[in-house]
Structure 1
Amino acid sequence: MEATRTKPVAQLFDSATVKEAISEAEALVPGYTYKGFCAKVAGAGCAGYLVSFLGKRVLYYGRTGETHTEYFPGTQPAAKS
């Protein structure tokens, strides 16, 4: 399978827009497509992502190392005191 880039990756990483795209995907908003998701996160500066099934999370990263960690639904770790 060949990957197709739908939109250039923005220079700046916008974690709020990445989170918004994730929320739309989880809610399966009308008109949602994976291609649209990829375009939205690329426009928000996401250069790629790494899925850890054992860690139950996805790490989204930007061009210069910025990250957003999204935990699988229902697996958010407890806050550290």
Structure 2
Amino acid sequence: MKKCQELSLAGRIAFPETVRRLSEAGVERYHVDLTRDETTYYLSCGESHALALGGPHGTINGPFDATGVEGAVRASQRGEVTYREFLSRIMAAGCVGYFTQITGRKVQYVGRTGDMHVEPFPGTTV
């Protein structure tokens, strides 16, 4: 999990590879908390592991902008931004964290007041 996170932040692996590696390690979902700057990984056996993220820092004050989040997702999918840049963009769009459901094949982006944008993995529908 830690190695995956490090490689992702360094821009050496993209989301599909991250998800593949985490799934192989038994991770069924993870939560990225941008306010606490940490990621919690949940394994199918019931264990969980929290790791410091080491992502971009800053206060997330603005209203949640689902269009801004979706734009960051599309830029990431096209390989136009690194993971660190992606995190900065979703923070600028008012996102305080997200839940990646590996087994459910979707990501749920959340704002401070509970606003949400659900993004299916490429090739799936919600």
TM range (shorter): 0.7 to 0.9
Q: TM-score, normalised by structure 1?
A: 0.84
Q: Percent of aligned positions with the same letter in both sequences?
A: 33
SS in 2 for 1:7: coil
Match of 2:92 among 27, 39, 43: 43
Give 1:19's aligned residue: 70
Asked if residue 52 in structure 1 is aligned to residue 101 in structure 2, the reply is yes
Q: CA deviation at 1:34?
A: 1.1
Asked if 2 retains the 8 angstrom alpha-carbon contact of 1:10 and 1:44, the reply is no
User: After superposition, what is the alpha-carbon deviation per residue over 1:8-34, rounded to whole angstroms, capped at 9, x for unaligned?
Assistant: 2133000001000000000001xx211
Q: CA deviation at 1:67?
A: 0.1
Aligned residues: 75
Higher strand share: 2
Asked if residue 64 in structure 1 is aligned to residue 116 in structure 2, the reply is no
Asked if 2 retains the 8 angstrom alpha-carbon contact of 1:18 and 1:41, the reply is yes
CA distance in 1, matches of 2:123, 2:84: 26
CA distance in 2, matches of 1:13, 1:71: 19
Amino acid at match of 1:15: A
* More relative contact order, 1 or 2 (CA 8 Å, 6+ apart): 1
Give 2:52's aligned residue: 2
Asked if residue 76 in structure 1 is aligned to residue 111 in structure 2, the reply is no
Give 1:33's aligned residue: 82
SS in 1 for 2:52: coil
